[in-house]
Amino acid sequence: MNKQMHLIGFYMHSPINHTALSWSDPDDDRVDGMRLFDHWKNLARTLERGKFDAAFFADTPGGFERYKESFDDYIRYGVTWPCHDPMALLGVMLAETKHLGLAVTLSTAGTHPYHTVRRLSTLDYISGGRVGWNIVSGHLRGEHRALGLDQIEHDKRYDQADEYMEICHRLWNGVQPGAVIFDRQTGQFADPSKVAVVDFAGEHYRCHTVPPVLPSAQGRPVLFQAGSSGRGQEFALKHSDVVFSIQARPDSMKAFVDKLGASSKAAGRAEPPKVVFGIQCVLGDTEAEARKRQADLFDRIPLDAALSRMSGTLGIDFSKIDLDTPLAANTTDASRGMLMALANMTGDGNATARDAARIFGATAGMPQLVGTPEQVADQLEHLWRLSGCHGFNITPTTNFKSVADFVDEVVPLLQARGIFRTDYESETLRDNLMN
């Protein structure tokens, strides 16, 4: 286990993060904030004040149209609609901070590896090495439809993504040390013999070029991956620095870390990827107040809003399914790992679709830690020690208030216990996060 836990803020560039109808809470300012640079600058400054490793942005390009084969509930309830591009926020938030990392979700569907490397590595270079990439293989049908593409079967998506990443790594590794000479007297900028030509022809992609961006202070972006299925974990072991997972129960968290460690050893990897789990904290001055906030959060979410999001993520139209039957009875080519995590939230694998929808609408499947700041700090430490994880992706309930409350009320308690940093160790995301 690490000597200190790591914390990452978990957001979306939409009217909500992971709690449906959070925009309707009087304390929430996200809808106004979406049109203001200052909203995102303030978020960045607050996370850096709280010594968070990074802000991590999920994304749902193309939207949710599985439920009832319609976009209506997705739009009606603002269930991540509109879905603005999170890439636009990285430059704003990086420029406002000196240590905070920024990680963004980009799908390998519909984009070429060259464009991805160029976009991410430019920001990584100019920020001094503070960018991360959450690699997703394109599990949303809506994304494929938006791009005019046919959706690929689950395991074949990862086969294609393996090829995608091979090109990315070649582009990242193509500039040798000493390649840039920058000699004003001779007029020579770089030594061509130290810059590789990438010449790749595979089943899915072709690429003939040289690296478009110089290596950053951390070399390349930190790579995140959230695959939980067998094929997804195989991909993660091959490519990721950090694995992000949503597990509803403490025992499931520990089992996930243990399994990934065993799989990593079997694959011959020197060290397993770091594991961070998604959670949501609900704070109150008293436990009763926190429980009341939690109940209010659940009560305001219409079932159709929750099912719209869950249908889109899991690739199943739940309007056609008896909601009181076990969720595990369904199959999907979308997010198989999430399906099984939700099915096991009761501990026996028999959670119903209705049970899952209630949780998914409120937290996208993440467990909630509810109570006073001291109680939440206790729960965080317990989960961290029990599971052996690296840390947590923390999604807020309301924007921006619950983020500031956590930084001001919970972080000092973790620091006082000696399990969370009081200052940054480095100026790169890799050095801060991976230690």
**pTM of this prediction?**
0.94
Tell me, what's the pLDDT at 229? Answer: 74
Check whether the bond before 182 is cis (ω within 30° of 0). no
Q: How far apart are the first and last CA of the chain?
A: 11
DSSP characters for 160-222? Answer: HHHHHHHHHHHHHT-B-TT-EEEETTTTEEE-GGGBPPEEEE-SS-EEEE--SS--BTTBS-E
Tell me, what's the pLDDT at 423? Answer: 98
Integer Cα distance of 113 and 132 in angstroms: 15
- Whether residue 297 is contained in a domain is answered as no
Instruction: Round the average pLDDT of the chain to a whole number and report it.
Output: 93
Tell me, what's the pLDDT at 159? Answer: 92
Residue identified by tokens 């690739």 is: 315
Q: What is the CATH number of the domain that holds 84?
A: 3.20.20.30
- Whether residue 214 is contained in a domain is answered as yes
Tell me, what's the pLDDT at 355? Answer: 84
**Where in the sequence is the domain holding 406, given as residue range(s)?**
6-172+206-284+366-434
- Whether residue 136 is contained in a domain is answered as yes
- Whether residue 237 is contained in a domain is answered as yes
Integer Cα distance of 120 and 172 in angstroms: 11
- Whether residue 90 is contained in a domain is answered as yes
- Whether residue 253 is contained in a domain is answered as yes
Tens of pLDDT, residue by residue over 371-391, are 999 999 999 999 999 999 999
Number of structural domains the chain divides into: 1
In eight-state DSSP terms, residue 330 is -
Q: Tell me if 371 sits within 8 A of 355, measured CB to CB.
A: no
- Whether residue 356 is contained in a domain is answered as no
- Whether residue 348 is contained in a domain is answered as no
Tens of pLDDT, residue by residue over 35-70, are 999 999 999 999 999 999 999 999 999 999 999 999
Q: Is 184 exposed, middle or buried (0-12, 13-18, 19+ CB in 10 A)?
A: exposed
317: three-class secondary structure by DSSP: coil
Integer Cα distance of 120 and 262 in angstroms: 31
Integer Cα distance of 380 and 368 in angstroms: 10
Containing 11, the helix (H) or strand (E) segment is strand 6-11
